[in-house]
Amino acid sequence: MKYPLATTTWDDKEYAAIRRVVSTGKFTMGSEVRKFEDQFAHKFGVAHAVMSNSGSSANLLAVSAVKYSSFAPGEGRNEVIVPAVSWGTTYYPLTQMGYRLKFVDVDVNTLNAGVEAIEMNIDSRTAGIMVVNLLGNPSELIPIRELADSHNLFMIEDNCESLGASYQGQFAGTVGDIGTFSSFYSHHISTMEGGISVTNSEELRQVMTSLRAHGWTRDLPETNFVHNKTGDPFEDLFRFVLPGFNLRPIEIEGAIGLEQIAKLDQIVSGRKANALKFKEMMSKYPDISTQKETGNSSWFGFSMILTGALQGRRSELIQELNASGVAVRPIVAGNFTRNPVLAHLPHVELPNLPVADQVHDNGLFVGNHHYEMNDEFLVLEKAINNFLA
């Protein structure tokens, strides 16, 4: 491909980190993971970071931790407001923990669920808000936080696509009760597989730590929010107190993460520089809508939605892009409610979702990278011009 969706951000430092861990013979979660968690939390100005084996697992930990903590909603409140455009594992943990999904449409410009759409859907059954910062673009995080607080709702940020983004001086992923991140290959930083859940709550940190490894108390302090220890190590190392999982990362991922987080500022600045060039180029095409920035986006990728006279011609554009060597994919999963899996997910009666439908039928996105993309943009521009001709 002349213009791929994703490329590596590794160099010799990441491979040296792998070799260092391999030479120790200690591979399961340990000191390297703890160091990465500490540096990640420090980088984003939060009290705690809990690493897991994927961004999807980070979401599962976040939702499960709310359920088994003082953040759990009261009786009769079992609906969570979610945007209609996101990835499957935004939704699955919610239904797995007994919540019903209440889908709201996204804003045509930002592709995120706006404050007004969220507020209109809050009622006596609402338990929380799952905010998704889509394609690097932060939602209106501070107003949504204020809205959640005023209605006593939990707020989780799925920030897996928006590492390094910010809103009103606060990093995306740090405004909610818990924020989740992904370090999968195609994301801003890569630890092969990996996810991180961050919080300022010591209680939520402890619950996530327990849930991550079987629901035991082994990694908790003697006196804790989950279940106090007895002081007998034989008993305490094998006491199961929560219905947990095995979502542990490995030491290699933690070691790679230490090298990757050191490069984050450079990675994000490179993506922002590319975004300026992309927006300038796309301004010549009035019938191709691109995502409008809220706050400071970290530009995961570049969305395009065909409008006006170009509606209904997406397959032609995709054919031209593929022929030109441009990798292309849907905008996340389009209108998620149109996926067959919805039959297995408890949800409130669906409203009309016209913007999500537009994203589903006429949307696509191309990749962004940490390096200068002048050549890639020339290929993209030529393909678009050929399509229009």
Count CB atoms within 10 A of the CB of residue 278.
Answer: 21
Separation of alpha carbons 172 and 331, rounded Å: 20
Tell me the C-alpha distance between 224 and 8, whole Å: 40
Q: How far is CA 162 from the centre of its chain?
A: 6
Q: How many CB atoms lie within 10 A of CB 246?
A: 11
CA dihedral sign, ordered 170, 176, 178, 179 = negative
Per DSSP, the three-state class of 376 is: helix
Task: Assess contact for 85 and 338: CB atoms under 8 A.
Answer: no
Residue by residue, DSSP assigns 140-166 as: -HHHHHHHHHHTT-EEEEE-TT-TT-E
User: CA neighbours within 13 Å on the CB side: how many for 40?
Assistant: 34
Q: Hey, how many other C-beta atoms are within 10 angstroms of the C-beta on 308?
A: 9
Its sign, for the CA torsion 268, 137, 143, 98, is negative
> DSSP assignment, residue 333?
T
Backbone angles phi, psi at 39, to 5 degrees: -70, -35
Amino acid letter, residue 226? V
DSSP bridge partners of 335: 85
360 tagged catalytic: no
Active-site position among 187, 347, 360, 369: 187
Phi, psi of 346 (to 5 degrees): -55, 130
Question: SS3 for 264?
Answer: helix
Instruction: Read off the tokens for 257.
Output: 């993460």
Residues 6 or more apart whose Cβ sits within 8 Å of residue 367: 3, 4, 5, 6, 7, 301, 302, 327
Residues facing residue 157 across a β-bridge: 131, 179
CA diameter of the chain = 76
Catalytic residue ranges: 187
